Homo-oligomer: A and B are copies of this chain.
Amino acid sequence: MIGDPLPSERLEGQLLPKHLALPIFASDPLSSVAYAPQELLMILLLGGLSFLAFAPWVALAVVVLLVTVVLSYRQLVKAYPSGGGDYEVAHKNLGEKAGLVVASALLVDYVMTVVVSVASGVDNIISALPWLAPFRVELAVFFVIILAAVNLRGVSESSKAFAIPTYIFIGSVFLMIVVGLGQTFFGTAPVAESAAYTVQGEQLTQAAIVLLLLRSFASGCSALTGVEAIANGVPAFRLPKVRNAQHTLVIMGGIAITLFVGLTALALISNVHYAENPCSLQGWAECATAPQLSLMAQIAAAVFGNSTIMFFVIQAATALVLLLAANTAFNGFPLLGSVLAKDGYAPKSLSTRGDRLIYSNGVLLLGLAAVVILVVFQANLTVLIQLYIIGVFVSFTLGQTGMVRHWLRELKLPGAHRGSIVKSLSINALGAAMTGIVLIVVTITKFTHGAWIVFVMMPILFLLMMGVNRYYRDVAKEVEVDPTTTFGATGDHAIVLVGKVQKPVLKALDYAIAARHESLEAVHVSIDDEETKQVKKDWVRMNIQVPLRIIQSPYRDLSYPVIRHVKDRRAEHGSEVTTIYMPQYIVGHWWESLLHNHKARRIRQKLMLVHGVTIALVPWLLDSSDLLYGRRSRPLPGQDRRGEPVRPVPRAPMPPAIITTTTVAPPPAPPGASRPAASRRRKRK
């Protein structure tokens, strides 16, 4: 009838096979190996070259933690396959407050994922093309804008173009590790550019040494960021969802550990000396002018040689996978938003599928926050990582603690498989304990280094979500049907608002006639004599059989005379229902809506405040509205992760309609009480 109204419903739905799910969900956790070893070693180097001897042990601790967390999430995926992740677990097992703490931590995380990934990506680009060094912040902002633009436009994450860079990254870094270790084995170990630089170690107290090791460990823990992504994306997997998600999680964990260990080992073998303050590197003359090459770049240059094709492949793949990781935040945010909205902690609109306006706002907000943070912190990766890890470990710890509570409850159920539950319980308990300890360590070691900002942001988000929830609860109470609600509106008057006699108005008039109201009149508010004369002329010329009432508005207000008229009628005829017909333009371009309907909207808003009024919008489709049909098929951010793609609806037969008809007589209403009580209450005010 109206062409192709909803092509989006015809989109072939597709769930993700493992070979696509891995790159989509793993770009975030895997990309973190691009910065984790570098930050780990950098902190150690603060104590002097000799402290690098601790590196294997610190790295081992990170790996143990990573294994624990991966195993913990394997349990979580099984117990909560709905994709709510840590938020759902904490909410269901530890209560509303814990859930909201996790939610605010995750919201901060999404911003930081964008920020850290982009900053690290830019670092690696600059390492390959050092002449870009003066434009670090500009480049970072540019990439955030590009990401936001791509997500505003709409692009499907499940396309192959998104999978290839991750595989290239994994493959090329793995190759680099194998070649580097091979060279070492055959006696020609790679030597990093910075191998010759030394660092003046400070005299540290024992406490300071312990603190330094803990700080180094905390920075290394940035390797764990993003592990939770798969737990949030279970619904997107093909059947059997849980098995496939668990399998992918383990593969991802294996790859992450291999790359992390391999890169750390190669960095130690090739003597990469990466310093927080480049000019603390003794022997490096241009420390103030030249950019310090990233650990990834130094290893790649040491193994494959500077300016070789492989060097650039590694750098390009690293930068790309980091940008993809940033992109995941743009996809994950709407997903978390919809979960929160379903629970009533975020605007309900976030759970409305396909409202591009809502998604656009989310994308813009995320992009803006990321740009502000990047500019404020000058895209300095080391500082930004401090902000990142806190949020991650808050959600880890609360999620795992929630799982412990979950298993304890399961254990009490009759007929529980005690053996497997106890195993799961102990894994999650270990996970909770370890991530909890790391959270404490991270908080202590990072707080003064900028992490306090996170502790300011999280409570704000927390309170916002609580506020939204309380608001919805109050409104639900307000609109709840109560015993005093009575009905029985009477009277049926209709008004068609006439500005100029144009097709949209005539259509509204036509529909009003078809609705056969008790009484019908056309109302023209006269603010311009010429226009009014023309309306009268048209009315007579076109033989329109609806009475036209012209109301003079000496003060040029359009809505007040109509309001006055409606009220006068109600004063005369009792509390009748008045339907006011207004044409509404439907347009195809966003900018057209800047040019239409504003006057109508304003009048509508005022008329809606009048008692007994209902507004009938009669749509008029301008030619440009044809464009609306083609546009809907653009994918929305997070669509692939939701795992419930819009599937083709069979056009016939329709799902059977259940019709319940109750034909009992209406409740007796007292003669005077023709308005619902809730409305009458207002009257008395």
Contacts and interface: CB of A to CB of B under 8 A. Distances in A.
Contacts of A556: 353, 644
A155 interface: no
Interface in A658-675: 658-667
Number of copies of this chain in the oligomer?
2
B503 A481 contact: yes
B667 A347 contact: no
A548 interface: yes
Given A478-B623, A545-B664, A586-B605, 5 more contacts: A352-B599, A475-B596, A479-B504, A481-B502, A615-B617
Contacts of A683: 1-2
A555 B514 contact: no
A537 to B, nearest CB: 11
B489 A595 contact: no
Interface stretch (A156-164, A199-207, A558-566): A558-566
Interface of A: 1-3, 5-6, 9, 347-349, 352-355, 358, 468, 471-472, 475-476, 478-481, 485, 487-492, 501-504, 506-511, 513-518, 536, 538-540, 542-545, 547-557, 560-561, 563-565, 567-568, 570, 576-577, 579, 581, 584, 586, 592, 594-596, 598-599, 602, 604-606, 608-611, 613-623, 625-626, 628, 644, 646-647, 649, 654-667, 676, 678-679, 682-683, 685
Contacts of A503: 478-481, 485, 676, 678
Nearest to A507: B676
A577 to B, nearest CB: 4
A1 B611 contact: yes
Contacts of A506: 481, 485, 487, 676
Contact of A611 (B2, B538, B649): B2
B646 A468 contact: no
Contacts of A619: 608-609, 613-615
21 contacts: A2-B683, A5-B606, A6-B563, A480-B502, A485-B503, A508-B614, A514-B577, A516-B518, A536-B660, A545-B665, A550-B659, A551-B654, A551-B655, A551-B657, A552-B656, A554-B655, A555-B649, A608-B617, A615-B616, A616-B617, A626-B685
Contacts of A518: 516
A623 B682 CA distance: 8
A584 to B, nearest CB: 7
Contacts of A599: 348-349, 352
Given A598-B358, A676-B503, A478 B2 contact: no
A598 B352 contact: yes
B658 A602 contact: no
A557 B646 contact: yes
Contact of A609 (B5, B513, B548, B567): B5
Contacts of A353: 556-557
B540 A662 contact: yes
B479 A491 contact: no
A560 B510 contact: no
B540 A514 contact: no
Nearest to A620: B479
Contacts of A501: 481
Contacts of A604: 617
Given A5-B609, A348-B595, A595-B468, A515 B621 contact: no
B678 A545 contact: no
A626 B349 CA distance: 24
A468 B570 CA distance: 41
A487 B549 CA distance: 21
Contacts of A476: 502
A552 B655 contact: yes
A62 B556 CA distance: 43
B646 A628 contact: no
A186 to B, nearest CB: 58
Contact of A660 (B1, B517, B539, B565): B539
Nearest to A659: B549
Contacts of A489: 510-511, 513-514
Contacts of A598: 347-349, 352, 355, 358
Closest 7 CB pairs of A and B: A349-B598, A608-B619, A489-B514, A547-B661, A552-B655, A479-B502, A487-B510
Nearest to A570: B1
B595 A472 contact: yes
A472 B585 CA distance: 13
Contact of A542 (B481, B592, B658, B663): B481
A514 B489 CA distance: 6
A584 B479 CA distance: 12
A451 to B, nearest CB: 27
Contacts of A605: 586
Contacts of A662: 539-540, 543-545, 547-548
A683 B2 CA distance: 6
A492 B555 CA distance: 38
B609 A625 contact: yes
Nearest to A491: B514
A622 B475 contact: yes
A426 to B, nearest CB: 36
A649 to B, nearest CB: 6
B479 A616 contact: no
A503 to B, nearest CB: 5
Contacts of A659: 547-550
B682 A2 contact: yes
A342 to B, nearest CB: 10
A507 B542 contact: no
A662 B545 CA distance: 5
A644 B487 CA distance: 44
Given A561-B655, A564-B654, A660 B547 contact: yes
